[in-house]
Amino acid sequence: MGSSKLLEGYIPTFDSEVYKRLLDKKAIPIAKTTLDELAMGGTGSSGHLGKTFNPWDESKTRMIGGSSCGSAAACAAGIVPYSIGSDTGDSVRKPASYSALVGFKPTWGRISRYGLFTFAASLDTVAYFTRNVKDSALLLNVLAGHDEKDTTSSSSPLEDYKKLEDKKYNLTIIKEIYDDLKDETIKKAFEELVKGLKQKGYKINTVSIGFNLAKAIYSCYYILSSAEATSNNANLDGIRFGSNKEAETYEEMLFKVRTEGFSDRIRRRFVIGSISLLEENQEEIYLRALRCRRVIVDTFNKILESSDAIILPASPTIAPLFDGDVPKKSFNKDAKVSDNYLAFANLGGYPSITLPLGFEQGMPFGVNLTSHHFTEAKLLKIAQIVENTTGLKDLSKK
Ligand code: GLN
């Protein structure tokens, strides 16, 4: 459960709303897949089953990314036409980039999270992989909509998401994120796409948000997600969840259960979360991150008020190697802006979609589009045009 050793053998006592809605439409469940432990991480290597390899890489040295690594691999290997994951920072949209899939997260509140294992409630969304944009739209028709069991689920009106309308949209590139890209093949493919869209009558402009703000996205996301995760997962204590251990005190039990049950990565996150929430640190760390979130979201709201969507390469590289370019530390101070910006869509709660853009050394890379709240129909239409322009869809590597 949650790919954590701490929850080994745990069987959930109820079904998630997403699962129920799929079964109601006669979906055939095939399997539960692995993920990075408790949905934290981006390497697809910290779950209880170990590494998940990228089906596009025959040498089995490259990751598919995470945290929704198992879902991505099942879809990318052609085993299933779609698979479900969750996206708190980029956990569906980044693996999609590494595996030639469409990875979609809706507006926060659009799909019920009843039964979703919480990571950071203010950022979490149910998200999913498909192999083309139309399937993403079809799935949203099934999954979107209010659910009284989830108090954060929205009642805002739904649309028929698969209806296509060919309008000429305005798209925006964020300068600091694009300028941070170094890979010439990815840049060239992106520039080709921009050219193709312009030929179709799209207007594409570039906006600057300042390097400091662009760089703040990941730090702000990291503090807030770690703080929320620490609080949300406080019930994994050996009494309510996790195996009971011999102990004299509650603290001792907590210590034993968590030391054995969690990987280093999770323990580090909970330490960072706890430090930022301590009364003496709250003002300096947690509340400061909250204020920073406000500035980031105000900036992106403003951009999305005058633009239909933000368009950028979804990742600055193809899928990294397991050994070599993976940072040893879970928080990397030198994290690249273009590698970690996707979390802005979670900080703002915007719908966001990654789809294939090209290939380098036989490995895929993707493009990402993000639009304003509850404009999924428009976002999917733009994505459809992007898909028509690149001609990349229905890709899998068996
Ligand atoms: N890789 C990011 C993290 O570890 C995103 C995780 C996610 O979206 N679930 O925080």
Residue 67, preceding peptide bond in cis (omega within 30° of 0): yes
Question: Mutate which of 35, 36, 40, 368 to test ligand 1's pocket (most atoms within 8 Å of Cβ)?
Answer: 40
Q: In a structure prediction context, what are the per-residue pLDDT tens digits for the chain, which is 398 residues long?
A: 899 999 998 999 999 999 999 999 999 999 999 999 999 999 999 998 899 999 999 999 999 999 999 999 999 999 999 999 999 999 999 999 999 999 999 999 999 999 999 999 999 999 999 999 999 999 999 999 999 999 999 999 999 998 877 789 999 999 999 999 999 999 999 999 999 999 999 999 999 999 999 999 999 999 999 999 999 999 998 888 887 778 889 889 888 999 999 999 999 999 999 999 999 999 999 999 999 999 999 999 999 999 999 999 999 999 999 986 455 555 566 679 999 999 999 999 999 999 999 999 999 999 999 999 999 999 999 999 999 999 999 999 97
Where on the phi/psi map is residue 306: left (φ > 0), alpha (ψ -120 to 50), or beta?
alpha
At 176, list the tokens: 């600091």
**What is the 86 CA–ligand 1 centroid distance (Å)?**
9
CA of 42 to the centre of ligand 1 (A): 6
pTM above 0.85, yes or no: yes
Q: Do residues 133 and 393 lie in contact, with contact meaning Cβ atoms separated by under 8 Å?
A: yes
Choose the residue to mutate in 45, 46, 84, 91 for probing ligand 1, maximizing ligand atoms within 8 Å of C-beta: 91
Helix or strand run (H / E) with residue 87: strand 82-87
Cβ–ligand 1 contact at 87 (below 6 Å): yes
Report CA Rg, the chain.
Answer: 20
C-beta of 117 in contact with ligand 1 (< 6 A) = no
d(CA 63, CA 95): 9
Among protein residues, the one whose CA lies closest to atom 5 of ligand 1: 89
**Biggest CA-to-CA distance, the chain:** 71
Q: Closest ligand 1 atom to the C-alpha of 123?
A: 8
Cα(248) to centroid(ligand 1), Å: 35
Residue 391: which residues within 8 A CB-CB, separation 6 or more?
none
Across the beta sheet with 352-360, what order do the strands follow? 82-87, 125-130, 102-105, 352-360, 363-370, 309-313, 170-174, 203-207
If you take atom 3 of ligand 1, which residue's CA is the nearest one?
41
Q: Is the CB of 124 under 6 A from ligand 1?
A: no
Ligand 1 centre to CA of 334 (Å) is 17
pLDDT tens digits, one per residue of 284-326: 999 999 999 999 999 999 999 999 999 999 999 999 999 864 5
Please check whether residue 191 is in contact with residue 363, taking contact to mean a CB–CB distance below 8 angstroms.
no
DSSP alpha helix (H) spans, the chain: 17-24, 69-76, 93-98, 133-143, 175-179, 184-199, 211-232, 250-261, 264-277, 279-282, 286-306, 337-340, 344-348, 376-390
Q: How far is the CA of 166 from the centre of ligand 1 (A)?
A: 34
| Torsion 387-218-363-37 (CA) sign | negative
Nearest to 16 by CA among 111, 100, 81: 111
Cβ(377)–Cβ(163) under 8 Å?
yes
CA 344 to ligand 1 centroid distance, Å: 12
CB 110 within 8 A of CB 136: no
Distance in Å, CA 10 to ligand 1 centroid: 23
225 lines ligand 1 (CB under 6 A): yes
